[in-house]
Structure 1
Amino acid sequence: RTGALDEMVLSLTARGMTSGEIVAHLDEVYGMKTSKETISTITDKALDSMNEWRTRPLDAVYPVVFVDAIHVKIRDGQVANRPIYVAIAVTADGYREILGLWAGDGGEGAKFWQQVLTDLRNRGVRDVLMLVCDGLSALPDAVANVWPQTV
């Protein structure tokens, strides 16, 4: 296998193709015989890297954190709109950093945001000076529970 094949498999997976569809695509387009197990090995390697990123320690303080949810179509047996909760910070050095992405299973709610903010605190974020969010009414209470001095 080459790195290019791994990149192609990950790209096709990200576009929503199943392992079986990828095997068929590689055979049809490139005449390449492979197996679902090979495809799974490639995607599992990427999942390990993603998990390391998702659980990495974060800075203790961020001057600004932006939070919001975007709704995307996700295939999980069937295609459905699901919220992806996003937290992006501005570091003390002025750089943007994606703190995390979380897939929800319902509408955007303060209860899920409480879990997201608690996860950030558990990964090392001790203080956020300012949190920027939309008008979700219960979100300020969730923020105050995790970082009481945050504006």
Structure 2
Amino acid sequence: MTNKFNFNDAVKDLQAGKNLNGKDGVLTSLIKQLTEAALQAEIEQHLDNDQQPNRKNGSSTKTVKSAVGSFELNTPRDRSGSFEPQ
């Protein structure tokens, strides 16, 4: 699921009877997008507060189970491996 959440499309999907929850649910892409944005902010803060030289080092994919279903999440990594997402 690589699409960004689109409110108008979500309303149309709901009107068409698409599920709110689940793998292809209307809210799943929004929760994924919000979670990834929060992780990006969290790693930025981690790197700003790190005493040792450190930087971003790509991301890894993890499957997350949530109330709306499972989805793939891109979790950022840092070079020193000290970033632990909360």
TM-score class, shorter-chain normalisation, is 0.3 to 0.5
Which structure has the highest helix share of the two? Answer: 1
TM-score by length of 1: 0.23
TM-score by length of 2: 0.36
Give the number of the structure whose alpha-carbon radius of gyration is greater.
1
Which structure has the highest strand share of the two? Answer: 1
